[in-house]
Structure 1
Amino acid sequence: MLVLAPRPHRGLRRVLKALDQAATFRISLMSAGARTSSDSSDGTARPSVAVRRPSLGILIAVTALGPMALNIFIPSMPGMVAVFGTDYGTIQLTLTLYLFGVAIAQLFMGPLSDRFGRRPVLLAGIGLFLLGSLGAALAQSIETLIAARIVQAVGGCAGLVLGRAIVRDTHGREESASMIGYITMAMVVAPMLSPLLGGYLDHWFGWRSTFFTVLAVGAVVLGLAWLLLHETHHDRSISNGPLAMLQGFPILLRNAAFTGYVLNVSFTTAVFFAFLAGAPYIMVEIMDRPTNEYGLYFMFMATSYMAGNFLSGRLSTRIGADRMILTGSLLALASVGLLAGVALTTEMTPLLLFAPVMLGGLGNGLSLPSATASAISIRPDLAGTASGLTGFLQMMVGALATLLVGRLQDDTVFPMVAVMTSGAIIAFLGYGLARATLASRAAAAASPAAD
């Protein structure tokens, strides 16, 4: 006798059908993922596997943690001299070593995420950030505070590196430039506003409250990242072992297109850092203006940079990353040219000092997101390593620019202008190197097809 199996409930049949379709779709994605890559028209590779895209809000949150923690306690620093019974130079180490911690840790966060995935490394980094924040809040000596700040910096840099890498995992080059533009804008806002919050907290609750606030914000971000961020990197091509994980560095540095884009990113940043190093001395010491007036003018310059970031976010997908880099680099050259012309022909005033640099800030805001996205798009399988290496070189070249301005500083604007001009020229040449390399590769790839 034929026994008929009971028919599934209609709702269950729908669920089973949906699961079957999902499985079929996933198999098709995996098959497509095996065919990656560098088949884009501009020579940069596209993401190999379709992954779930995180929201822009959570990427901004994880990226802004480090910059927020950098500046929030600056208003408390003068009072901490008496608290710890030390000198101001020692207190400044909590800022200086934080910057070095961020720079150096970027070299390792990227390769670790390429090997183990973005999500676990990011969550571990935020956890380390929380540990450093708690240590800083409870510190009873300046040595403990400095050590806690270094731990905080290492953990906080995970968001800086992996925010960019996650964007590249889930978006093409132009879309990455757009997303990074918005993220960079938030990175500028965070260190600008955090001292205001820090000053209020220090006034009403004491300096420890700033670190407890950072701890609370970090805990919220960790919870959101745990719930909302999914793994975006599935192409684990890096072998096991600490040395093997670093093999991406020489691979990337031998790539002339990557090197060109990184030169653009690093020396565009150097122009900005050189101005930061020289402008306060010029305005306060040479022009004899009050420090609060410098702060007001600086806000205008920062606003122009954010405007460039905003326009980059809006326009990158429409006109392309390369046009954004070219436009921004040309504006930077025009900016330093105007500044040099003013310095050579007339007496410098605050308005004449800042107006040309506002034009350069707009240009930097336009070019940096696209140049960064282009650098980490060269090898999507090494996006984490590329992001970390780009960030490291960007910060190191910027730091060297500030050091050079400080060494050369006299009673004129010319040392600062010379360093800024050199940086703008090298940044433009770096972009030219990248474009020439990609054009040569595209021509070489097209010639066999023509034959």
Structure 2
Amino acid sequence: MNFRAILILGALSAFGPLAIDFYLPGFPAMATAFATDETHIQLTLAVYFLGLSIGQLIYGPIADRFGRRVPLLVGVSLFTVASLACAFAPSLEWLIGARFVQALGGCAGMVISRAIVSDKCDAVGSAKVFSQLMLVMGLAPILAPMLGGLLVNLYGWQAIFIVLTAFSAMAALAVALGLPESLPANVPRQPLSGALRQYGRLLKDGEFLGHAMTGGIAMAGMFAYIAGSPFVFIKLYGVPAEHYGWLFGTNAAGFILVAQVNARLLAKRGPAFLLSRMIWVYLAAGLTLLGVSSLHTEQLWPLLIPLFICIASLGCIIPNASACAMSGQGARAGSASAMLGCLQFSAAATAAWMVGVLHDGSAMPVGMVITLCGILAVGAAMATRRLYAARIATQTSF
């Protein structure tokens, strides 16, 4: 794939994280504006996760039936309109509803960008492209909190959604002018009536489900960190709000770095091999984070080291798990991408909810949820490798 296509796909893939990370510094201002507390403002985050989960299941079959471009343009346009509605929300209820619609539009880019990569590349090529997309996507969590905090201080929280409106409008223009249809004309188009059957087949595909759950559960740990980090950094350890973005960006930089190293390692090792090794690094860092958080240290830096390793390791885990899950999906790549995204963000919503439920005024809930995600992700990875080994043994016996 050429650089222009990767850049456009990276921007589309960034819709989800950008619309999350960008407005985190605005939580206190939004709580004040709507005369509520930050717990209720967090509903706008939870409903966004819900919209991402539901919306991806809708776009997958549509992309397999009508191609990639038209559903993509519709979704990006919907995100643009909903972002403008968020900016002028007169009440919290309005904002929650607009965030749900925003997620329904934004997930089109996430689903269809994976399907486009699958249309164009094999498993190793897909893993390389996904790693390159991590570079573009990774800029969002580095720059978004810092820029979001600056916009809130200068112009108010509404400015965040105005910028999202402009960004999505430019992305729609880039798709219209620079991203041709990728679904080959000779590939049979999947009927919408068979969407449920396709999802049923995917859920019965043990290797697809195993890889999807490995990446999705590991990624859920990152969203536990996203949900809990404003409290841990700003309120618990007294980090100034304007410096929050620097800590957030440092972890994102580690994510990008490992993703680029992963792209180079793929020349020697396959994505499944790298995934099976890095998932243990993620678990070890999670256990270390839990141990440090249980000590209730007065300084922040002991927490930052294992947290950095956790987030950085995802730069290898997410692209390789996605590539393994999408490998060989062919004409049902859209549905496979949708199911992959739905599982990922369902796990993310659950992890974010658990951090809130376990909240006890310490860093322990974040450490507990990330460790649990590590244990479950390792279990899913090991089970998937056994399924793969059994399938290869069966094929070679004939």
Structure 2 length normalisation: TM-score? 0.86
Query: How far apart in 2 are the matches of 1:201 and 1:347?
Result: 33
Cα shift at 1:173: 0.7
- With 343-352 and 261-270 compared, the bigger mean Cα shift is at 343-352
- SS in structure 2 at match of 1:319: coil
Picking from 275, 289, 302, the partner of 1:352 is 302
Cα shift at 1:232: 1.5
Deviation track 1:22-69 (CA, whole Å, cap 9, x = no partner) reads xxxxxxxxxxxxxxxxxxxxxxxxxxxxx9997211111222234323
**Who is 1:257 aligned against?**
207
1:240-389 correspondence to structure 2 within 5 Å: 240-241=192-193, 244-277=194-227, 288-292=237-241, 296-340=246-290, 342=292, 349-389=299-339
Cα shift at 1:208: 4.2
**Who is 1:395 aligned against?**
345
Query: How far apart in 1 are the matches of 2:278 and 2:28?
Result: 38
Unpaired runs of at least 5, structure 2: none
- With 371-380 and 171-180 compared, the bigger mean Cα shift is at 371-380
Aligned 8 A contact 1:261 1:372 in 2? yes
Cα shift at 1:112: 1.5
Cα shift at 1:83: 5.1
Q: 1:54 to 1:346 in 2, by over 3 A?
A: closer
- SS in structure 2 at match of 1:230: coil
- SS in structure 2 at match of 1:232: coil
Counterpart code for 1:110:
G
Paired residues, what number?
395
Q: 1:148 to 1:328 in 2, by over 3 A?
A: same
Query: How far apart in 2 are the matches of 1:127 and 1:436?
Result: 43
**Who is 1:238 aligned against?**
190
Query: How far apart in 1 are the matches of 2:326 and 2:139?
Result: 24
Tell me the C-alpha RMSD between the 2 structures.
3.1
Aligned 8 A contact 1:316 1:370 in 2? no
**Who is 2:121 aligned against?**
171
The question of 1:431 aligning with 2:381 is answered yes
Deviation track 1:63-96 (CA, whole Å, cap 9, x = no partner) reads 2234323343444554445655666555444333
Q: 1:283 to 1:130 in 2, by over 3 A?
A: closer
Query: How far apart in 2 are the matches of 1:283 and 1:197?
Result: 18
Query: How far apart in 2 are the matches of 1:142 and 1:403?
Result: 19
Picking from 39, 47, 63, the partner of 2:13 is 63
Cα shift at 1:140: 4.3
Residue identity (%):
34
- SS in structure 2 at match of 1:318: coil
Aligned 8 A contact 1:54 1:230 in 2? no
Query: How far apart in 1 are the matches of 2:150 and 2:291?
Result: 42
Aligned 8 A contact 2:18 2:140 in 1? yes
**Who is 2:135 aligned against?**
185
- SS in structure 2 at match of 1:55: helix
1:142-153 correspondence to structure 2 within 5 Å: 142-153=92-103
Cα shift at 1:171: 0.6
**Who is 1:116 aligned against?**
66
Unpaired runs of at least 5, structure 1: 1-50
Counterpart code for 1:319:
R
**Who is 1:99 aligned against?**
49
Counterpart code for 1:135:
A
Query: How far apart in 2 are the matches of 1:313 and 1:329?
Result: 17
Aligned 8 A contact 2:221 2:369 in 1? yes
Query: How far apart in 2 are the matches of 1:150 and 1:406?
Result: 20
Query: How far apart in 2 are the matches of 1:305 and 1:376?
Result: 21
Aligned 8 A contact 1:256 1:433 in 2? no
Aligned 8 A contact 2:232 2:362 in 1? yes
Bigger relative contact order (CA 8 A; separation at least 6)? 2
Query: How far apart in 2 are the matches of 1:89 and 1:345?
Result: 26
Larger Rg: 1
Counterpart code for 1:370:
N
Cα shift at 1:412: 6.2
Query: How far apart in 2 are the matches of 1:53 and 1:301?
Result: 25
Q: 1:257 to 1:58 in 2, by over 3 A?
A: same
1:73-88 correspondence to structure 2 within 5 Å: 73-80=23-30
Query: How far apart in 2 are the matches of 1:361 and 1:103?
Result: 22
Counterpart code for 1:129:
F
Q: 1:297 to 1:411 in 2, by over 3 A?
A: same
Query: How far apart in 1 are the matches of 2:233 and 2:33?
Result: 32
Aligned 8 A contact 1:328 1:362 in 2? no
Counterpart code for 2:50:
F
Q: 1:343 to 1:363 in 2, by over 3 A?
A: same
Structure 1 length normalisation: TM-score? 0.77
Query: How far apart in 2 are the matches of 1:282 and 1:205?
Result: 26
Cα shift at 1:155: 0.8
Query: How far apart in 1 are the matches of 2:290 and 2:43?
Result: 34
